[in-house]
Amino acid sequence: RGSIFFEDEDITSARTDERAQKGLFLSFQSPIEIPGVSISQFIRTAMETKEKIRLKAFRDKLKTVTKTLGINEQWINRELNVGFSGGERKKIEMLQLLMLNPKLAILDETDSGLDVDAVKTVSRGIQTFQQDDQKSLLIITHNS
């Protein structure tokens, strides 16, 4: 049994929310649905675990990031991942990644089973995230 260290701190037994507050982001191969919680609510709540954000600033950033990724702005009012295809869910994960702006992003099978449009959005999200050289990215994939 090993240990997990992040920025010289043992986070092996840290709760998921504690790891997220430290700047870790994990995307899953099959993102889960959260009925009753809009995409906008989910992202804003996650962002506010670090610090409060004014509604206008949040909406402005959300609009900018949806435009960067080419995501339909109307999606943000829909329930998180409910009724979305696999490719659409991956697009929403890229939206979360760029909105939350973590120190380390771990993307599990982020390109699995995606159509061409979704692959472009995921690529654009990864490229945008990597523009900051203070960020780290680990991509887990079976494709080469």
Q: Which domains does the chain have, with CATH numbers?
A: 5-140 (3.40.50.300)
What pLDDT, in 10s, does the model give residues 5-51?
999 999 999 999 899 999 999 998 888 999 999 999 999 999 998 88
Calculate the average pLDDT of the chain: 93
CA distance 131 to 133: 6
Cα-Cα-Cα-Cα dihedral sign, residues 42, 45, 49, 52? positive
pLDDT of residue 39: 97
DSSP, collapsed to helix, strand or coil, labels residue 139 as strand
93-103 residues labelled b (16+ CB within 10 A) or e (exposed): bbbbbbbbbbe
Considering the entire predicted model, what is its pTM? 0.91
Q: What is the largest CA-CA distance in the chain?
A: 46
